[in-house]
Amino acid sequence: MSNNIENLSAWQKFIKKMTKANEIGKEEDIMTDHDYDGIRELDNVLPPWWLYGFYITIAISIFYYIMVFMGNYNQEKEYADSVEEGKKEVEAWIAQDKKAHPEKYTEAKAYTDAAHLAKGKELFASKTCFACHAVDGGGGIGPNLTDDKWILGGGVKNIFNTITKGGRPGKGMVAWENSISKEERQLLASYIISLQGKKTANPKAAEGDIIWNGK
Ligand code: HEC
């Protein structure tokens, strides 16, 4: 019980210290001689709680002044820093992805030696490409692969990409990504490149307006 009273009085002391309010009934002590049509004015001191808050804002403003105008901390730097951080995260992700799926990051390569081209020719038959492009690549449902006109672009990169991702929607050339391995798609693209300019039994008229003749 006595503890409570002590606590209370300590609290009251604190409040008194923080407000420095003049006691009621002692207004005369701080009454100024200002008198405006009977309205009088008390000369209260600034309450310490308010004053301390004001000092804190001054201290903070000095801190920011030094940081922004003397140090190099500002919004632009903060932005640049977070962009830098983001770039690092992306790089880390790519590095990780490269490890997990190395095949996604290696460029398709074109083989030119007979052994690989023979394998490509075999695949052209076994993977049913011939059904639409003819056994010799002269074309049928699908375009002639021996001329220098390409609908989707020539060169190993484009041809590999067409085999991987397919042709334009609804045209009949599907994406072979999931049914033919990357190495086999490279062999097929290499074989198709080797067909450039070859005479075929029943050549289909050239289609497409991208010119690429193997060079
Ligand atoms: C069902 C028929 C069909 C089959 C099977 C087929 N293709 Fe195609 N292919 C097409 C059609 C149709 C196009 C034209 C796509 C377009 O116009 O967008 C085409 C386009 C292409 C092109 C691009 C030609 C150009 O002018 O840009 C290549 C390369 C190609 N096929 C390779 C292959 C390979 C390799 C296979 C076997 C794995 C294959 N195709 C199987 C129908 C087929």
Q: Evaluate whether 125 touches 184 at the Cβ level (below 8 Å).
A: no
What are the pLDDT digits (tens) for 31-66? 888 889 999 898 888 999 999 999 999 999 999 899
68-94 burial: b if 16+ Cβ within 10 Å, else e: eeeeeeeeeeeeeeeeeeeeeeeeeee
Instruction: Say if residues 56 and 68 touch (Cβ distance below 8 Å).
Output: no
Name residue 157's amino acid: K
Question: Looking at residue 2, what is its pLDDT?
Answer: 44
Q: What pLDDT score was predicted for residue 5?
A: 52
173 lines ligand 1 (CB under 6 A): yes
Phi, psi of 155 (to 5 degrees): 90, 155
CA 177 vs. chain centroid, Å, equals 25
**The predicted structure's pLDDT at residue 3:** 47
Residues of the chain with CATH 1.10.760.10: 114-211
Ligand 1 centre distance from Cα of residue 188 (Å)? 11
The number of the ligand 1 atom at minimal distance from the alpha carbon of 152 is 27
Ligand 1 contact via 116 beta carbon (within 6 Å): no
**Residue 108, C-beta contacts closer than 8 angstroms, at least 6 positions apart:** 156, 157, 160, 161, 182, 185, 186, 189
Amino acid 146 reads T
Tokens of 27: 């207004």
pLDDT value, residue 4: 53
Residue range 114-211, CATH number: 1.10.760.10
**pLDDT, tens digit only, all 215 positions of the chain:** 444 556 678 888 888 888 888 877 888 888 888 889 999 898 888 999 999 999 999 999 999 899 888 887 788 888 999 999 999 999 999 999 989 877 677 788 899 999 999 999 999 999 999 999 999 999 999 999 999 999 999 999 899 999 999 999 999 999 999 999 999 999 999 999 999 999 999 999 999 999 998 87
pTM score, whole prediction: 0.62
For ligand 1, atom 43, which residue shows the shortest CA distance? 173
Q: Ligand 1: which residue has its CA nearest to atom 29?
A: 159
What atom in ligand 1 is closest to the CA of residue 168? 18
Number of continuous H segments (helices) and E segments (strands) in the chain: 8, 4
Residue 1: the pLDDT is: 42
Instruction: Using alpha carbons, list the distances in angstroms from residue 100 to 58, 94, 96, 105, 163.
Output: 55, 10, 6, 11, 23
